[in-house]
Structure formats: structure tokens, C-alpha cells
Amino acid sequence: MPRVSEEHLTARREQILAAARTCFLSKGLHNTSMQDLIQEAGLSVGAVYRYFKSKNEIINAIAGTVAGGIQRHIEAIAEERLPMIESLERILDVVDEQIGPGGSLPIALQIWAEATLDPAIGEIVRERYTGMRRGFQTVVEHLVEDGELPADTDIEGVTSAFYSLMPGFALQRLLTGSPDRATYMAGVRALLDRR
């Protein structure tokens, strides 16, 4: 029997994840069954279960893709050591991209909701978002080191507040369609103006 190439394996895995995204967006995460995913992917039961043993494994893979991409973006911004406002603007750029057509945040919202009901999904979300939080903490640590924030800044407290700006923006955009990034950033600047 010929060996299957790595490219073929990757393509099949992505085919299953694309089918899952389609199902989650049309039926909702909670209402989508493995049978729905298998049918949407157009593959055999065995082919799908070769890659993913459960719907939670698929959710974990999607969450990893979404959170992992945003986390890498945040970490890259942290390494640039930009001012706070510019860092946040750059972080919200990726949020804007993921809200639009084909973006992953509509599915992320469903995963967040399911995390409140299913402990296994809750653990997936906790792990993914704790990783993103570390990127925000690096930004805050650099702001202290660079003198934008005082030396005695409560790093954990400021990280928590700073981090909350990203999902706060994303949820408002997903649920109400507004504000746009410029309006949101104008509000953040007004709140942070220490004069």
C-alpha cells in the first residue's frame, strides 16, 4: 500500500476543519454532530476519525488556529516595544480581520459560550486564552521597562485590564456591529488621557 504524503494528510485535516467551520456557522457549535461534520467533509467515518476522535478535538484544533494566530500576532507586537496605544491598535487590526467574512471570531464566540457549559471545552478555552494573556503581559512589562508606565505598576492588574480591551472590542463588534476600530480607539485614548 503506498504511503500517504504529508501534504495529503494536511489537506485532509484542513478539509475536515473547513467542514466543521461551515457546520458551526450554519448550525451552531452545540447543534453540530460528528455525523454533520462527516457529511459536510464528504469523507468516510473512518477518514474523519483518523484525524479527530471527537468533536472536542476538532474544537480544540479550531481554537488553536484562532487563538494561536492572534497570540503570535500579539507576541510579535510585544517584541516591537511600541507605545501602549499603538500596540492596542495593531492588536485590534487582527481582531478586525477575524470579525469579517471568513474570519474565525464568530466561531470563537460560540466556543466561548460552550465553554461555560462543557468543562472540557472550558479547559481548551482557558489554555488558549491564557497563552494570549502572556503576550499582553509582555507588552505591559515592556511599557514599564520603557517608562511609559510607572516602575511600581501592578503588572498583573494592568495586564488584566489591557487584555480585556481586545475581547471587549471583539464582542461589541460581533454582537452589535459597532463600534468601528477608530471610534473604539478614540474612546480608549480618552480613558487613558492622564492630563
Cβ 124 vs Cβ 67: under 8 Å: no
**Domain around 188:** 56-192
Find the farthest-apart pair of alpha carbons in the chain and give their distance in angstroms, rounded. 73
Q: What is the pLDDT of residue 175?
A: 92
From CA 143, how far away is CA 82, in angstroms rounded?
A: 8
The reply to whether 91 and 177 lie within a common domain is yes
The reply to whether 120 and 33 lie within a common domain is no
The reply to whether 39 and 111 lie within a common domain is no
Ordered mean pLDDT values, 10 residues apiece, the chain (195 residues) = 75 93 90 94 93 92 85 92 95 89 85 90 90 94 96 97 95 93 95 74
Q: What is the pLDDT of residue 194?
A: 63
Q: What is the pLDDT of residue 3?
A: 67
The reply to whether 97 and 177 lie within a common domain is yes
The reply to whether 45 and 110 lie within a common domain is no
Residues 52-86: b if buried by 16+ CB within 10 A, e if exposed: beebeebbbbbbebbbeebbebbbebbeeebebee
The reply to whether 113 and 172 lie within a common domain is yes
The reply to whether 23 and 108 lie within a common domain is no
Q: What is the pLDDT of residue 195?
A: 54
Q: What is the pLDDT of residue 9?
A: 83
The reply to whether 186 and 142 lie within a common domain is yes
In the chain, how many domains are there? 2
From CA 176, how far away is CA 171, in angstroms rounded?
A: 8
Distance linking the first and last C-alpha atoms of the chain = 73
What nine digits make up the cell of 122?
472550558
User: How much is the pTM?
Assistant: 0.82
Q: Residue 115 is part of a domain; what is its CATH number?
A: 1.10.357.10
